[in-house]
Each structure stands twice: as structure tokens, then as C-alpha cells.
């Protein structure tokens, strides 16, 4: 029965992954479509003709769409619906994994990746209710796709029972909040990257140099992006602080001390300090704008490093990746 459940879960997960993948294939052309659209706009305004190379990669459907002069929002809408659909499949797959394991589905790296990417998409969809961040879609789904791809190739493990150290309600609290925090950091990261691209473009416009990446014209200004990134990142920072504290309480229960400079603890601390620096940078003259955005990018790289490298290659008490050692 266990094996049956495993097969079923693997199947469901594959479905979820394909759902996400389909989403991205639809989403990427949408960005391309927008690029093409802005290129056409630039042409109309007397700018240099561009986009021929990108055009060749556009699928027939999208090409038609653009040529018929329909608004690009159709493909955007399709992408968004697909993302939502992928999210639903992903959610079902993740829940099934939890059911098959008889516990929360985030006890090893594979499950953490699954749930983590799920929450990234979830947060992305949620934030979209309040702010229209759909322009981030290609970045977010792209990021999720890469993470899921790595996870599927490298991190897959079958369902195994929880080691005693993880049998605690803190697994639910500490890891869940860490995942949500990571998701907010991911969106903040995407916003910061777009902000950096955008401010580069704005500088180019100012200096009258030719611009690359014309699709940025359709996106908000660097300042707006910076404010959005800041707001996303402070939410993440608070969640991260909570993760740190909850982790310390759990460590006190499980290992007998709340802080022991375990490698994972160190990296969580480093991330916390980097983002604390980011928040301070926003209030420091000369550090607003691109410099603080770079800090956010460094911060998110540290988050990814903490997850992808520290878990697998560093020796420490948080060795719950489930990968063979």
C-alpha cells in the first residue's frame, strides 16, 4: 500500500510539475509578445526596428495574436489562468504527498521545494489581488520552474517517516513560516531585479543611449518597483525574524540550546543581517535605489545558498535533506 501511495504521489507531483511547466511556456511567449509589442511601439515612434530574432521564437498562436493587433493582455490573461491552474494541480499534488506521508509535506528538501514553490506561486497570486504584479509572471514562474526542475532531478526522495527530532508541532510552525518568508523574499527579489533593469533603462533614456529590453517600457518606474520590493521584503523580513525565533525555541526543546552557531543557524542569521542592512540602506543617504536593490539580490542569493548548498554540502544539525549522505 505504501508503494502504491508512493507511485500515486509521484504521478500527482509530475502532473503538478507539468502544470507549472505549461504555465511557463504560455507565460514566456507573453513576455516575448510584450517585447514585440513594445518594439512595434518603438518603431512607430521612429525607434530602431528590433525584435526580429525574438519573433522567430514566438509560437504561431501568439504571433497571430500580435499580428491581429489584439491587446497583449489576452496572452497575459491566459498565462495568469494557467498559472492559477498549475497552482491548483501543484496544491493537490502537494496535499497528496502530505496525505501519503501522513504529515506536513515539508520535512525534507524535496518536499520543501515542492511546498516552497507552491507558496511562491500562491503569494504571487495573492499579491496580485491587491497590486497588479502580473508583469512579474515570467520572472516568478521562471524562477519556480528552475527550482522545481532542480528539485525533481536532484532532490526527489520517497516518503520516509519523520526522524524523532522532527516530530514536533514546531515543524509545522517554524518551517511553514520559513517557506512563506522565502516566498516573499522571492517576489521581492524578482521586483528588485526588474527595478535594477528598469533603472538601467531609465539611465539610458536620460543619456539618450539606445535601450535594450524594450518590454520594460510597459512596466512601472524604478521608484514604484523599489517601493513595492521594499514592502514585500519587510513582510518577508518579519516572517524571517519569526522563523529565527521559532527555530531557536525549537532548538531549545530538541537540542538543549536555543542558539549554537550550527551552519544553518549561521546562514539564517546572515540572511537576517543582510536584510536588516537592506532596510537600513533604504534610510541611508546614497544607498537608496540601485544599491539597496543589489543588497536585496544578495540577500535572496543567500536564501538560495542556505537552501541549496548549506542543506546538502554543509555538515550540521539541520541535515534533514533526506538525500543520501
Partner 1 sequence: MRTALFLLLLLAVAAVPGSLVPQTSADPNGVAQYKIDHPELYPILKNLQVFDTYTSVWFSAIYLLLFISLIGCVIPRTKHHLDALRAKPPRTPVRLNRMGGFRAVMVPGLVEWAVPSTGSGTARSATEIVDAARGILKSSGYRVVTFDKPGEASVSAERGYLRETGNLVFHIALLGVLLAVGVGGGFGFVGQRVVTTGQTFVNTLVNYDSFNPGRFVDTNTLSPYSIRVDSLDVVYEQSNADARGEPLDYTAHVTAKTPDGKAEKRTIKVNEPLEIGGTSVYLLGNGYAPVVTIRNAKGDIVFRDATPFLPQDSNLTSQGVIKIPDGLSKQLGIIGIFRPTAAKTMANGPISTYPGLDNPKLSLTIFSGDLGLDNGSPVSVYALNVNKLTQIAGPTASSPGLDLKPGQTAQLPGGLGSVTFDGVKRFASLDVHHDPTKTWVLIFAICILGGLLTSLFVPRRRMWVKAIEQPDGGIRVEYAGLARGDDPGLDAAVDALAAKHRALIEPQQNESSAAETKA
Q: Least Å distance between CB 179 and partner 1?
A: 18
| Residue 11 is a binding residue for partner 1 (CB under 8 A) | no
Place of cell 502504491: 4
Contacts of 273 (CB under 8 A, 6+ apart): none
Q: Least Å distance between CB 167 and partner 1?
A: 6
Task: Annotate each residue in 108-147 with x if it binds partner 1 (CB under 8 A) or - if it does not, as one string.
Answer: ----------------------------------------
Q: Least Å distance between CB 283 and partner 1?
A: 6
Binding segment for partner 1 (CB under 8 A), chosen from 68-76, 180-188, 192-200, 268-276, is: 268-276
Question: Judged by CB under 8 A, which of 227, 294, 297, 319 binds partner 1?
Answer: 227
Question: Judged by CB under 8 A, which of 73, 212, 284, 301 binds partner 1?
Answer: 284
| Residue 257 is a binding residue for partner 1 (CB under 8 A) | yes
| Residue 262 is a binding residue for partner 1 (CB under 8 A) | yes
| Residue 319 is a binding residue for partner 1 (CB under 8 A) | no
Instruction: Show the CA angle centred on residue 139, arms to residues 201 and 127, nearest 5°.
Output: 105
- The residue count for binding partner 1 (CB under 8 A) is 58
Decide if 92 contacts 119 (C-beta within 8 A).
no
Dihedral (CA of 196, 275, 169, 154) sign: positive
Residue-wise burial string across 35-62, b where 16 or more C-beta atoms lie within 10 A, e elsewhere: bbbbbbebeeeeeeebbeebbeebeeeb
DSSP per-residue codes, 58-116:
S-HHHHHHHHTT--THHHHHHHHHHHHHHHHHHHHHHHHHHHHHTS-S-SSHHHHHHHH
> What's the CA gap between 325 and 321, in Å, rounded?
10
| Residue 68 is a binding residue for partner 1 (CB under 8 A) | no
Question: Judged by CB under 8 A, which of 120, 159, 196, 219 binds partner 1?
Answer: 159
Q: Least Å distance between CB 280 and partner 1?
A: 5
Binding segment for partner 1 (CB under 8 A), chosen from 53-61, 136-144, 186-194, 245-253, is: 245-253
| Residue 156 is a binding residue for partner 1 (CB under 8 A) | no
DSSP per-residue codes, 204-220:
HHHTT---S-GGGGGS-
Task: Annotate each residue in 174-213 with x if it binds partner 1 (CB under 8 A) or - if it does not, as one string.
Answer: ----------------------------------------
User: Smallest Cα–Cα separation from 188: which of 231, 241, 133?
Assistant: 231
Q: Is the Cβ of residue 85 or residue 246 nearer to partner 1 in the bound state?
A: 246
Q: Is the Cβ of residue 36 or residue 175 nearer to partner 1 in the bound state?
A: 175
| Residue 10 is a binding residue for partner 1 (CB under 8 A) | no
When computed from its CA atoms, the radius of gyration of the chain, rounded to whole angstroms, is 21
Binding segment for partner 1 (CB under 8 A), chosen from 15-23, 64-72, 84-92, 309-317, is: 309-317
> What's the CA gap between 232 and 239, in Å, rounded?
11
315 burial (CB, 10 Å; 0-12 / 13-18 / 19+) is exposed
Decide if 106 contacts 117 (C-beta within 8 A).
no
Binding segment for partner 1 (CB under 8 A), chosen from 43-51, 77-85, 87-95, 234-242, is: 234-242
Q: Least Å distance between CB 44 and partner 1?
A: 34
| Helix runs in the chain, H state only | 2-44, 52-57, 60-67, 73-101, 109-130, 137-150, 169-170, 176-206, 222-254, 263-282, 290-305, 311-313
- Report the interface residues with partner 1, using CB under 8 A: 2-3, 157-165, 167-168, 170, 227, 230-231, 234, 237-238, 241-242, 245, 248-250, 252-263, 266-267, 269-270, 273-274, 276-277, 280-285, 287, 310, 314-317
Amino acid at each position: 500500500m505504501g508503494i502504491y501511495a508512493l507511485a500515486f504521489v509521484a504521478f500527482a507531483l509530475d502532473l503538478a510539475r507539468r502544470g507549472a511547466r505549461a504555465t511557463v511556456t504560455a507565460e514566456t511567449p507573453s513576455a516575448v509578445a510584450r517585447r514585440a509589442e513594445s518594439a512595434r511601439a518603438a518603431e512607430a515612434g521612429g525607434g530602431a526596428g528590433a525584435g526580429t530574432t525574438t519573433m522567430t521564437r514566438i509560437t504561431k498562436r501568439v504571433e497571430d495574436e500580435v499580428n491581429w493587433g489584439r491587446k497583449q493582455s489576452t496572452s497575459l490573461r491566459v498565462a495568469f489562468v494557467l498559472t492559477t491552474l498549475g497552482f491548483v494541480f501543484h496544491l493537490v499534488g502537494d496535499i497528496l504527498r502530505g496525505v501519503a506521508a501522513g504529515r506536513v509535506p515539508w520535512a525534507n528538501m524535496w518536499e520543501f521545494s515542492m511546498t516552497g514553490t507552491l507558496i511562491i506561486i500562491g503569494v504571487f497570486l495573492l499579491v496580485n489581488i491587491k497590486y497588479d504584479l502580473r508583469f512579474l509572471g515570467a520572472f516568478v514562474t521562471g524562477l519556480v520552474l528552475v527550482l522545481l526542475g532542480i528539485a525533481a532531478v536532484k532532490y526527489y526522495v520517497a516518503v520516509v517517516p519523520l526522524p524523532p527530532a522532527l516530530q514536533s508541532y514546531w515543524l509545522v510552525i517554524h518551517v511553514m513560516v520559513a517557506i512563506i518568508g522565502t516566498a516573499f523574499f522571492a517576489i521581492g527579489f524578482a521586483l528588485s531585479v526588474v527595478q535594477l533593469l528598469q533603472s538601467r533603462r531609465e539611465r539610458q533614456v536620460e543619456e539618450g543611449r539606445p535601450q535594450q529590453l524594450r518590454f520594460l517600457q510597459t512596466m512601472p518606474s524604478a521608484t514604484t518597483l523599489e517601493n513595492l520590493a521594499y514592502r514585500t521584503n519587510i513582510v518577508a523580513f518579519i516572517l524571517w525574524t519569526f522563523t529565527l525565533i521559532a527555530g531557536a525555541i525549537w532548538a531549545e526543546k530538541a537540542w538543549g540550546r536555543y542558539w549554537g552557531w550550527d551552519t544553518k543557524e549561521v546562514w539564517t542569521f546572515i540572511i537576517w543581517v543582510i536584510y536588516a542592512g537592506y532596510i537600513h540602506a533604504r534610510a541611508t543617504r546614497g544607498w537608496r535605489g540601485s544599491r539597496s536593490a543589489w543588497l536585496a539580490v544578495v540577500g535572496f542569493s543567500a536564501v538560495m545558498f542556505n537552501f541549496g548548498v548549506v542543506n546538502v554540502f554543509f555538515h550540521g544539525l539541520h541535515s534533514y535533506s533526506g538525500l543520501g549522505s
